[in-house]
C-alpha cells in the first residue's frame, strides 16, 4: 500500500507540473555566460545567491550545533557521518600535524560548492522569476528594469511601448547558482592556490622557493643536469599558475553546462520530463565539489612535503 501511495503521489505531482507547464507557460531566462546585474548596484544574481546560501549554511550549522544530543536523530547522524568521512579522508591524505589546519578550509569549500551546485538544479524553476530589461536594440538598460508579469502585451504596456514595437527583452533571474559564475570559481581557485603558497612557506620558510628556482643545481650538478633542473623548477612555477585556470574553468564549465542543458530541455519539453536529467546533474554537482575538495587537499599536502635540496 505504501508503494502504491508513493507512486500515485509521484504521478499526480508530474501531472500537475506537466499541466501547469502547458496551461501556464512562463518565459525562460536568456542564457548568459556572465552573471547579470539585478538593479542592486554591483551585486549580480550570482553574488546575491552566494550571500543567501552562505547565510543558510551558517544558520544551519548554528542550529545543528546547538541541538547536538548524545542520542542523535537522523539529521545529526547524517551531518556527523559526512563530517567524519571528510575528516577521515583529510587525515589519510595530509600529514598528521597539518590535517587539523587543512580540514576547516577544505570542508568549508566542499560544503559551499555542494550546496551551490545543487542550487543549479533549480535553474528551470527560478529562471522564469526575475526582471526584464527592455531596449529598442535588445541591450540592457538599468533604468528600464521592470518586473515581469502577465502576457507579452502587458509587458509591452508596462514598458510604455506600443504593440508591434520591435523592442528587445531580456529576462534576468534574481538568483543564479554561484558556481555557474566564472568570477566565483576563479576567486575560489585564487584563494586555494594562495593558501597552497601560505602553507608552503609556513612549512619550509624561504626555502620553499627552491621548488621553483633551482639555480643551486648549476653548482651541485653541473651545467647540463643543472639546466634540466632549473627548467623543471620553472615548469613547476608555470604549473602553479595553470592550476588556477584548471580549477576555475573545470568547475564553471561543468556547472554552467548543466544549467544550460536543464534550461534548454525545459524549453523544449514539459517540465516533468526535465526530472529525468536531475539525477545526472546531481551526480555531476557532487563530483565537482568533491574533485575541488580532494585537489585542494592534495595541493596543500604537497606544499608542506619536503622535496629535498635542489
Helices (H) and strands (E) in the chain, counts: 10, 5
SS3 133: strand
> What separation in angstroms does the CA of 16 have from each of 3, 9, 149, 271?
20, 11, 22, 10
Q: Report which of residues 294 and 249 the model is more confident about.
A: 294
Retrieve residue 290's grid coordinates. 568533491
pTM equals 0.73
Retrieve residue 57's grid coordinates. 549554511
Task: Tell how strand 130-135 and strand 168-173 pair up.
Answer: antiparallel
**pLDDT over 70 for what percent of the chain?**
67
Query: Of the spans 11-20, 94-103, 145-154, which averages the highest pLDDT?
Result: 94-103
pLDDT tens, position by position, 19-67: 655 555 544 445 566 677 777 778 888 888 899 999 999 998 888 888 8
Work out the average pLDDT over 80-104: 91
SS3 205: helix
Residue 153 has pLDDT above 70, yes or no: no
SS3 132: strand
pLDDT tens, position by position, 269-293: 555 566 667 777 788 888 889 999 9
SS3 41: coil
pLDDT tens, position by position, 167-183: 455 667 778 888 888 88
Residue 83 has pLDDT above 80, yes or no: yes
Q: Could you tell me the residue ranges of all domains in the chain?
A: 26-129+174-303
Nearest to 94 by CA among 82, 109, 81, 107: 107
> What separation in angstroms does the CA of 50 have from each of 2, 98, 131, 204, 307?
39, 29, 19, 35, 38
Report pLDDT for 59: 92
CA distance 134 to 167: 7
Amino acid at each position: 500500500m505504501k508503494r502504491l501511495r508513493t507512486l500515485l503521489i509521484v504521478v499526480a505531482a508530474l501531472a500537475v507540473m506537466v499541466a501547469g507547464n502547458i496551461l501556464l507557460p512562463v518565459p525562460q531566462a536568456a542564457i548568459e555566460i556572465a552573471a547579470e546585474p539585478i538593479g542592486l548596484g554591483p551585486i549580480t544574481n550570482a553574488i546575491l545567491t552566494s550571500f543567501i546560501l552562505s547565510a543558510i549554511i551558517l544558520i544551519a550549522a548554528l542550529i545543528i550545533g546547538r541541538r547536538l544530543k548524545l542520542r542523535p536523530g537522523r539529521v545529526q547522524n547524517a551531518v556527523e557521518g559526512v563530517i567524519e568521512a571528510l575528516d577521515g579522508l583529510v587525515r589519510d591524505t595530509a600529514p598528521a600535524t597539518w590535517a587539523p589546519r587543512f580540514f576547516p578550509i577544505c570542508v568549508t569549500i566542499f560544503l559551499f560548492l555542494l550546496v551551490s551546485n545543487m542550487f543549479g538544479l533549480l535553474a528551470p524553476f527560478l529562471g522564469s522569476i526575475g526582471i526584464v530589461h527592455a531596449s529598442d536594440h535588445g541591450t540592457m538598460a538599468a533604468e528600464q528594469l521592470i518586473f515581469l508579469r502577465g502576457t507579452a502585451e502587458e509587458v509591452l504596456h508596462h514598458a510604455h511601448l506600443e504593440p508591434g514595437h520591435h523592442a528587445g527583452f531580456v529576462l534576468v533571474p534574481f538568483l543564479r547558482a554561484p558556481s555557474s559564475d566564472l568570477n566565483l570559481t576563479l576567486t575560489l581557485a585564487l584563494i586555494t592556490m594562495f593558501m597552497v603558497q601560505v602553507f608552503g612557506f609556513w612549512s619550509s620558510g624561504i626555502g620553499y622557493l627552491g621548488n621553483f628556482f633551482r639555480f643551486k643545481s648549476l653548482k651541485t650538478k653541473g651545467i647540463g643536469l643543472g639546466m634540466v633542473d632549473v627548467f623543471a623548477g620553472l615548469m613547476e612555477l608555470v604549473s602553479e599558475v595553470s592550476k588556477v585556470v584548471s580549477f576555475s574553468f573545470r568547475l564553471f564549465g561543468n556547472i554552467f553546462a548543466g544549467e544550460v542543458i536543464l534550461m534548454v530541455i525545459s524549453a523544449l519539453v514539459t517540465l516533468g520530463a526535465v526530472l529525468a536529467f536531475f539525477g545526472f546533474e546531481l551526480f555531476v554537482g557532487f563530483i565537482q565539489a568533491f574533485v575541488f575538495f580532494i585537489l585542494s587537499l592534495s595541493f596543500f599536502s604537497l606544499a608542506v612535503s619536503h622535496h629535498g635540496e635542489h
